[in-house]
Amino acid sequence: MAPTDLGPFLVDHQGLPRFWATVWASLLPADLAPATLAKKLSQLDRFYEYADSLHSPGSLENALADFDVNALASALEGYFFTIRNSSPITPASEERWQTAIQFVKRIAEWRRNKSRADDLHERFARLETLHWSLHVGKRSRAERVRALPAAVIEYMYELLDPESKLNPFQNAASRWLSYVLFIFMLHQGLRRGEFLAMPVDVIKCGLDRRGTERFWMNVAYNDYEDCTRYSEPSIKNASSVRQIPVSGTIALIGQEYVQNYRGRPGHSFLLNSQKDNPLSTERVTKIFQKVTASLPQSLKQLLQDHNAAESVSPHDLRHTCAVVRLNQLLEEGISMDDAMQRMRAFFGWSRESTMPLRYARTVFEDRLASVWKDEFDERVSVLRSLPVRAK
């Protein structure tokens, strides 16, 4: 895979672009994040490599050009069983297979729409019947939502309190940085890339029709400057660009960080490193590794038993936020359909996304919901021991 100003693309063993992979990439949604496109192309490259090893270099390109159903069926079937016989079967295995299927399907549809030949339509129908519904492996149980156990969340509140004696970070700036990461990703349900892309003035303030002060944030790219980080954070897609409410408590925490602990770096991004550079994804990973290392062994075991995981990740906080927010919406008497649309809007999922259904299937345990008692955004203990200055 090679990067260009136009984005990544696949090349063959001679360094030449793979034609049909380039066509396929051009047919994907224009708002697809570069990282997502790169992942899909990387998965597709494995299919190309398999087809090349099965026959000869360029065999898959030729089969697509001629729409040779026999050759395409042979490549797909062989690739399917190669993945199916690998061990262990994971969600990534199914992703690789689905990428190969969607690639062939999309090119086939594109070619079918460009041609009126009846035999091309017949060949497409045959390929569709044979392979479109195949799956590498069916899970024996429903996919687990990675919401963190309540005990882990409660301990993280105490651990990451900037005034806590348990806090594993040495100076005030790093303590506040880790605390802001935890609070905003948990309470606002932000993806890591979204948070890293936000400008310093992301939290807005205004009066509603009743004259009450309200806060909100726009989840979008930083309009002030381009990012120069090695691993550039990104907004996932058009649906991810959104406006979400922010409680007064969260706004105060953000204000405290910006005015007293962020420093005065020469960039406009909200999150700042100790070297006055925009915070990197790698640094966020290291922060959460340190948080995990600071958990008592009993909570590490609980994490393993509950989530089958050995560490806390930033995305676990987003999962936890989604579970609690959906639970609250349903407890307020909001219909499931309305709750699903509110979840899509808040978390940046498309209107057709099935992501909220994963949380709807989750059993909402009382001990999880009770972490935030009745008011998730106004949890009093969020400000426990915090010297938030009057502005």
Question: Which helix (H) or strand (E) segment is 71 a member of?
Answer: helix 69-84
Q: Give the pLDDT confidence score for residue 139 in this predicted structure.
A: 46
Give the pLDDT confidence of 137-189 residue by residue, as tens digits: 654 444 556 788 888 888 999 999 999 999 999 999 999 999 999 999 999 99
Which tokens belong to 235? Answer: 């907004």
- End-to-end C-alpha distance for the chain, whole angstroms: 51
Tell me how many degrees the CA angle 235-89-93 measures, rounded to the nearest 5: 40
CB 173 within 8 A of CB 274: yes
How far apart CA 64 and CA 19 sit, in angstroms, is: 10
Reported pTM? 0.60
How far apart CA 341 and CA 350 sit, in angstroms, is: 9
How far apart CA 137 and CA 141 sit, in angstroms, is: 12
How far apart CA 216 and CA 258 sit, in angstroms, is: 16
Phi, psi angle pair for 136, to nearest 5°: -60, -45
CB 189 within 8 A of CB 277: no
Is omega for the bond preceding 88 within 30 degrees of 0, making it cis? yes
Give the pLDDT confidence of 112-127 residue by residue, as tens digits: 776 655 555 565 555 5
Q: Give the pLDDT confidence score for residue 115 in this predicted structure.
A: 61
How far apart CA 279 and CA 272 sit, in angstroms, is: 5
How far apart CA 254 and CA 183 sit, in angstroms, is: 9
DSSP string, 47-64: HHHHHHHHS-TTHHHHHH
Query: How confident is the prediction along the chain (391 residues), in pLDDT tens digits per residue?
Result: 544 445 577 887 777 888 998 888 888 887 788 888 888 899 999 999 988 887 788 888 998 888 787 788 778 877 887 887 776 778 888 888 888 888 888 887 787 776 655 555 565 555 555 555 566 665 444 455 678 888 888 899 999 999 999 999 999 999 999 999 999 999 999 999 999 999 999 999 998 888 889 999 999 877 777 766 656 666 666 667 899 999 888 999 999 999 999 999 999 999 999 999 999 999 999 999 999 999 999 999 988 888 788 899 999 999 888 888 887 787 788 876 688 888 888 998 887 676 776 665 553 444 344 444 444 444 444 333 333 433 3
For residue 272, the SS3 value is strand
How far apart CA 191 and CA 115 sit, in angstroms, is: 42
Q: Give the pLDDT confidence score for residue 297 in this predicted structure.
A: 95
How far apart CA 245 and CA 253 sit, in angstroms, is: 15
Q: Give the pLDDT confidence score for residue 114 in this predicted structure.
A: 66
How far apart CA 242 and CA 189 sit, in angstroms, is: 12
How far apart CA 256 and CA 40 sit, in angstroms, is: 40
Which tokens belong to 279? Answer: 């915070």
Q: Give the pLDDT confidence score for residue 375 in this predicted structure.
A: 44
Q: Give the pLDDT confidence score for residue 362 in this predicted structure.
A: 55
How far apart CA 386 and CA 175 sit, in angstroms, is: 12
Q: Give the pLDDT confidence score for residue 298 in this predicted structure.
A: 94
Domains and CATH numbers, the chain: 19-131 (no CATH), 150-383 (1.10.443)
Residues in the chain: 391
> Which is nearest to 142 in space by CA: 359, 317, 344?
359
